[in-house]
Chains A and B, each alone.
Chain A
Amino acid sequence: MKWLALLAVCATGSLLIYGVSDFPDWGSANSPANGGVEGAGASISEVFIEETETLTKVPNIVTAVLADYRGYDTMFETVVIFAAGMAIFAIIRVMRDTEQTQDKTQLDSSVDGDHQRIIVGTTCRILIPVIQLFALYVVAHGHHSPGGGFQGGVILGASFILIGLAGNLETAMQRFSEKQFVSMACIGIFIYAGFGLLGQFLGGDFLEYGVLQKVLLTDGEPMARSHSMLGVEIGVALTVTAIMFAIYANLASKGELKNGL
């Protein structure tokens, strides 16, 4: 059976490598994305590189593509993360109280446990505000520098995970309870979809940010698109933060959300 699996892996691998040989060279100016197809006008990369600055006033083209030109795609990526979190809830989360877990809490708060926590606890107390500040910077500055909702959300979620790892899960859950992270995950998607629907109510298409200038009170469509991208990124960040912490909390405590690792 093992040899059969190895054979299957080798066959698939060689087929993939054979497929790669058909790709254009890395960074090639003549690839369909960069050079365009003959007789079809400017290529899509050219349009993005030349028009993004004037159309959206966003220097980071990657964010503009992600949140504006392909906003629909990114919205459902966020929904995928949300669905993954909900699936983990459905599979692992248990809703009953067990006797065993309560004994473990008393063991944990013994003198020995407290001694170990001084170094780790102090380090985390200094480190966590810096991590969270950096995460907020990554979210807020996502359309000017590398970063954005996904990365910032993961870093913000990781800071809560660090609280759970350094102390116990209950300390982290006091700051970020189950009720809070589940509703935060929903609010994030609502913000994203809300920006899309708002555009529709104002007479545009779904996720057409240009028409939002009447609501956002900006001068001109480009700034409205830039601000909407920030709003959408904040929605993504909320969902990702909440789901990352929810997944950790469920995995670490076998779904009981009590004293994890």
Chain B
Amino acid sequence: MEHFNIVILVLLVITALLALRVKDLLSASMIFGIYSFLICLLWAEMGAVDVAFTEAAVGAGVSAVFLIATVYNTKRRSSD
């Protein structure tokens, strides 16, 4: 289980940095969804199933859709 945790924590840092670095905001919101799913795995592994469930539904599901809807109606490229 230690290895599983380490792999997920490393992936979390990578996705967090990627979401900031990527210029395409649509990919950034997808990466944000991946980040949410990874953290959801972490909650589930700790035994906090209710929190993991909320994270999967809200973080990875609905908020990704909200971000994509916003990107669609604004601009797709990040300026910085």
Q: Could you list which residues of chain A lie within 8 angstroms of chain B, going by C-beta atoms?
A: 26, 60, 62-63, 138, 146-148, 150-151, 154-155, 157-158, 161, 165, 244, 247-248, 251-252, 254, 260-261
Contacts and interface: CB of A to CB of B under 8 A. Distances in A.
B14 interface: no
A187 to B, nearest CB: 21
B22 interface: no
B62 interface: yes
Interface in B10-63: 46, 49-50, 52-54, 57-58, 61-62
Contacts of A260: 69
B20 to A, nearest CB: 11
Contacts of B53: 138, 146-147, 151
Contact of B58 (A146, A154, A165): A154
17 contacts: A26-B46, A146-B49, A146-B52, A148-B50, A151-B53, A151-B54, A151-B58, A154-B57, A154-B58, A157-B62, A158-B65, A161-B65, A248-B62, A251-B70, A251-B73, A252-B73, A261-B69
Contacts of A247: 66
Contacts of B70: 251
Contact residues of A: prevailing secondary structure: helix
A247 B50 CA distance: 24
A112 to B, nearest CB: 20
A244 B53 CA distance: 17
B50 to A, nearest CB: 5
B73 A254 contact: yes
A158 B54 contact: no
A158 B54 CA distance: 13
A86 B58 CA distance: 19
Contacts of A165: 65
Contacts of B65: 158, 161, 165, 248
